[in-house]
Structures are given as C-alpha cells and as structure tokens.
Chain A
C-alpha cells in the first residue's frame, strides 16, 4: 500500500520529548531522573491531565519504552520525576543518560489515587524497597496540603540500608514533626550505625499497630511483601476497601490496545494501576 507521511494531531503512539534536568543515585542500581518537557504544549497537556497514581512510558529511541509510575506528586506538575532500577534494555539506557540528555515520554496514563476522598482521614503509607516511588507521589500530594489530613504514618522497609531510596526525603519526613516515620531493614541488612528497626515490613507494621479507624492505608511493594502485609493489615482491623495499592504489569501501548496487562478482565493500564485491596481480591489470583 502506498502510505505517505502525514503529520497527525493526536497520534497516541507519538511520545513527547523531555530533557533530563537532574539525575540522582538513590541506591545501588536505582536512579531518579527529573524531567522537563521541551515543548510547552506538552507541559500544558501534562499539567491538565496528571493526577497522582498515573504512570508513563519512558523511552529512548532505538531501545524502546519502559513503564513506571510518575514519582512526583500532582501538587508539583512543572516537572516529572521517575525512579527506576536498572534491569532491562531500556532502563540500562536510561541509567546511562546524563543531565541535559533528551528522552521520550508518553502519558500520563491510567487512573489515580482519589486523594480528595482521603481528606480528614489518617493516612498510613507502607512501602517496600523500590516501591517507595509510587507511594512517595501520594505522600507529597498529601504533605503539600498537610492540614487536610489527620495523622500521617509512613512505614518503609528495604532489604539493606543501602537499598533505601529517597534518603534525603526520609530525613526530611523524620524531621518535620507532623509525620511518624518508621524505617526498617530486613534482618542482616542493617549497618553498624543503623538506628531504626530491623525486621520485615509486616512484622514491624504489626508492632507499630496503627489504628484502623478513619484511616486509609496505601501499600506498595513487591508481590510477596504485599501478600503478607495485607494479612497484617487485616489482623490490625483494616478493611480491604480502605487499603489502596498499585499493580504493575508488562505494557507496550499503555492505552488498552496491545492486550497484555490485563488481570482477568481488568486492564491495569486503563482501569489501574491504582486499586483497592478489595478490587484486587476480586481479580483471579491465578492471573496476577
């Protein structure tokens, strides 16, 4: 067929171009990029649509695109921050990119955390390892309007002290006085000067025993941690409808067409990535 090149207004597969404004090493193999749109029209579109919880496809032409969350909050939309572990082809290319380099971005896609519904409630954030980034987007969205929420508790754990991400922000949260921060590392992962907890997240959570009344829990982490932490939350009296989490599946298009990210009938890219534990329980476990 004789196809010609015609510019399109709304090609869903055409990414925007972003400049790396800053890079930060978070932990071994884990990096944060701060990105700025090159075209003001793209920035405007992003600011109009972006809400905490949504994700993007970050790419380097020639390598491909990789899906992860927008780690910066909806209260700060002049830039995008993303945090990723160098593990595949795209993330390896992203990790070797430097300040000033250009990368591509498609999004923001997906649903969001219904933050207005959390107003007036206590918040419990629980994150494991590299899953602090999606949680952090919600944390800052709430801390940037701190007076709208009750008590805020953050429980964060990683395998080792070196694996904790956003170390600077952990200090900031510890010092601000209106957040209760509980940090832990897995047994054996502590350093000689570690002053916080040692133990797995579910155990540490049960010991901290946050009250379930009028409280929303946001839980992100590797599947195994989610599984055990959900059990702990249940033990503490949290209802599944008040526990939010995110699902991450392999994606190519991000917009419900390429056919791979569904869990049962639920498309993570369109109907997620944010779900309540109640919604996750209704999905076929064998498809997770």
Chain B
C-alpha cells in the first residue's frame, strides 16, 4: 500500500498549506515563458509542462537581490541587511533535474563560507518534485547519471499515476514529511500503479568526457575554438542553467545612501574576468566556453565530487546558435574513443 495524492484534492491541499501560513510556489506560464513563482491556489499552475523554461534556482538565488542597504553620515556608516524571511515555503511540481541542481549548489554556497541568502531560502523550502513521464529531444538527465525520477535535492517525490488522476507520494526528508503531515487526511491509501517514467536516451559517455577534460594536454586543443566559434556570448545558457551560480556585486545609489545588490553574472561575458590593467585571462569566447565546460565537468567535481550539470538540456534547448553542453560533450565523447 502506498500513499496517493489525487489531483482533485490539490485545491484543498493548497488552501490547507496557505491557511497554515506556508507560501506555495509552482510552475506557471507567463507571457510565453514559464518559471516558478508564488501561487495562491493550484489553478494558477501549469502541470503540463515537461520543464519550465526558467529554472528553480530563481527561488533561492534571484536574478537580482538586495543584500545590504547603506547610509553614510558624517562620522558613521550604517549597514542593514536584507535577509530572506524564514517563512516556510512549499514548491510543488519541481522536476528532478532542477531539484538536483539545488543540492549541487548547496555545496558551493557552503564551501567554507556560508551564504546566508541562499541557505535561508533553502532551509525554509520544501521541494515536492514530480517525476517525469514525458521528455523532449533535449532532455539528457540519464547521460549525467540522473534520471526522470531521481530523488536528489527533493524533499518529496511524486510519481504520476498511470490513470493520470494524481501521484504516488514518497517522502524523502524530514522537511518533506512535515509538509505531508499537514495534508495527511488528503493522502489516500491505494494500490494504483504509477505511469512509466520517461525514456530518456543516453547521449554521450560521461566518463569518456571527464577523462578527456581532465587531461591537461587538451586544455589548449583546437577543439575549443571549433566547437564554440559561433558562440555569441549572450549568457542565455548560464542564466537558464539550474547550477550556474556566478554573480556580480553592484551598488545602486550614491555615496550617501543606496543598496548593494547581488546580480546574476555569466562566464560568457568578456568583462567577467577582465583585470583593471586590461589583461583578461579568458579573453576569447572559446576560452570562456572552455571555462564553462571545465567548471561543470572538472573543477566542480574536483572540489565537490559531483559534476555541476543535471542534464536539464536548457542550454541546448534555448541557445540562439544551437550550441550547448549536449553538442560539446557528444563531440568530446567521440574524440575520446
């Protein structure tokens, strides 16, 4: 016997959570674009999306966020902090690839120094992930050692019923368990079967790729120029990546008062690494694409024993010049053989 949450009960489910003061989030369509935002009830959700065009990371690491506000007096500097509230949140309907990305970035944001902005949002949030029963041509979770029903980074995993009328419910963490307790009366026992998970083909040999990337000889290979010559450095792949975490810090205001912000940045941009002297360690677009691939599949894994890619496929799906991690790793996978 397993627990089942029926779609018909979702309205009550959301209203129960909200009555308890829990903020509810989920995938929504907005102006031809989709992403996660706060919803008042389940009717606002778009449950038919294979994957939102924007990622879950925006709920933990917003595109721009005020970190500090300052005001400067004659003999004093006053700083106050904008820290995220600890009000509990439930994110309903994340996908396994996005949820996994959050767990990967936990490592980075806790690397010796803890980023409170990230972790306050992480610790107040319960991620309820829905396993995928469909995929598209760009999905590549299985190539990255994950899958359409991976549990990594999720607090609750929901498996769609074969009947399409709801989900089998698996609690994965204490936080997830707590979120389910408040809707315990809505969870029915049953023997219904889950729909088969999506069949996502393996597109490249990840181990061959990481072996090739780890060889210092290949750092200056012509491959990098060839594979990225058409990159226009727009940064779309980094902004739509669940694990890309690079940011800039900028002040908005004058030297009397204002706000210090943390803004998304991108390794695709020339200014990202430019020294004041004019010297730029990564002065070409190919050096910058190499950085992105090396960071994900070599540097990050050297530090945190996991590659910083979940195979969501957005970098390929949304690239204006049809590049992306998929093409690069497929090509490397062939080179290594």
Closest to A269 in B: B113
Given contacts A257-B247, A284-B216, are A61 and B116 in contact (CB under 8 A)? no
User: Number of B residues contacting the other chain (C-beta, 8 Å)?
Assistant: 63
A91 to B281, CA, bound (A): 21
Which A residues lie within 8 Å of B111 (CB)? 255-257, 270
Asked if A14 contacts B220 (CB within 8 A), the reply is no
B87 at the interface (CB under 8 A from A): yes
Asked if B299 contacts A265 (CB within 8 A), the reply is yes
Which B residues lie within 8 Å of A64 (CB)? 249-251
| Chain B proximity mask over A5-47: 1 for CB below 8 Å, otherwise 0 | 1111011111101000000000000000000000000000000
Closest to B274 in A: A250
| Chain A proximity mask over B252-291: 1 for CB below 8 Å, otherwise 0 | 0111101010100101000011111101011000010001
Asked if A257 contacts B245 (CB within 8 A), the reply is yes
| Chain A proximity mask over B311-329: 1 for CB below 8 Å, otherwise 0 | 0000000000000000000
| Chain B proximity mask over A54-73: 1 for CB below 8 Å, otherwise 0 | 00000011111100000000
Which A residues lie within 8 Å of B9 (CB)? none
A288 at the interface (CB under 8 A from B): yes
Asked if A265 contacts B81 (CB within 8 A), the reply is no
Closest to A66 in B: B276
Which A residues lie within 8 Å of B279 (CB)? 223
A287 at the interface (CB under 8 A from B): yes
A258 at the interface (CB under 8 A from B): yes
A228 to B298, CA, bound (A): 31
Asked if A6 contacts B77 (CB within 8 A), the reply is no
A12 to B119, CA, bound (A): 12
Which B residues lie within 8 Å of A13 (CB)? 67-68, 117, 249, 260, 262
A262 at the interface (CB under 8 A from B): yes
Asked if A61 contacts B70 (CB within 8 A), the reply is yes
A193 at the interface (CB under 8 A from B): no
Given contacts A257-B108, A286-B220, are A61 and B77 in contact (CB under 8 A)? yes
A250 to B283, CA, bound (A): 13
Please give the distance in Å from B147's CB to the nearest CB on chain A. Answer: 28
A171 at the interface (CB under 8 A from B): no
Asked if A255 contacts B113 (CB within 8 A), the reply is yes
Please give the distance in Å from A234's CB to the nearest CB on chain B. Answer: 21
B35 at the interface (CB under 8 A from A): no
Asked if B248 contacts A3 (CB within 8 A), the reply is no
A257 to B76, CA, bound (A): 29
User: Number of A residues contacting the other chain (C-beta, 8 Å)?
Assistant: 50
Asked if B303 contacts A11 (CB within 8 A), the reply is no
Residue from B80, B254, B298 in contact with A5 in the complex, judged by beta carbons closer than 8 Å = B80
Given contacts A14-B81, A284-B216, A286-B220, are A61 and B262 in contact (CB under 8 A)? no
Q: Which of A80-103 contact B (CB under 8 A)?
A: 87-88, 91, 93, 102
A2 at the interface (CB under 8 A from B): yes
Please give the distance in Å from B30's CB to the nearest CB on chain A. Answer: 16
Asked if B115 contacts A262 (CB within 8 A), the reply is no
A10 to B281, CA, bound (A): 32
Which A residues lie within 8 Å of B68 (CB)? 13-14
B2 at the interface (CB under 8 A from A): no
Which A residues lie within 8 Å of B258 (CB)? 61-62
Asked if A250 contacts B262 (CB within 8 A), the reply is no
Please give the distance in Å from A249's CB to the nearest CB on chain B. Answer: 7
Which A residues lie within 8 Å of B303 (CB)? 265
A197 at the interface (CB under 8 A from B): no
Which A residues lie within 8 Å of B294 (CB)? 264-265
Which A residues lie within 8 Å of B72 (CB)? 61-62, 102
Asked if B273 contacts A250 (CB within 8 A), the reply is yes
A17 to B219, CA, bound (A): 43
B75 at the interface (CB under 8 A from A): yes
Residue from B79, B220, B275 in contact with A250 in the complex, judged by beta carbons closer than 8 Å = B275
Please give the distance in Å from A96's CB to the nearest CB on chain B. Answer: 10
Asked if B249 contacts A253 (CB within 8 A), the reply is yes
Asked if A10 contacts B220 (CB within 8 A), the reply is no
Asked if A249 contacts B281 (CB within 8 A), the reply is yes
A260 to B280, CA, bound (A): 11
A160 at the interface (CB under 8 A from B): no
User: Would you mind naming 9 contact pairs between A and B with Cβ atoms under 8 Å apart?
Assistant: A3-B83, A6-B85, A11-B67, A11-B83, A12-B114, A252-B265, A259-B265, A264-B299, A265-B303
Other A-B contacts than A87-B277, A102-B76, A249-B275, 10 sampled, CB-CB below 8 A, are A8-B116, A13-B262, A17-B79, A250-B273, A255-B111, A257-B113, A258-B248, A260-B272, A264-B299, A286-B219
Which 9 A-B pairs give the minimum distances between C-beta atoms?
A: A259-B246, A62-B255, A255-B113, A265-B299, A61-B70, A284-B219, A6-B83, A88-B276, A12-B113
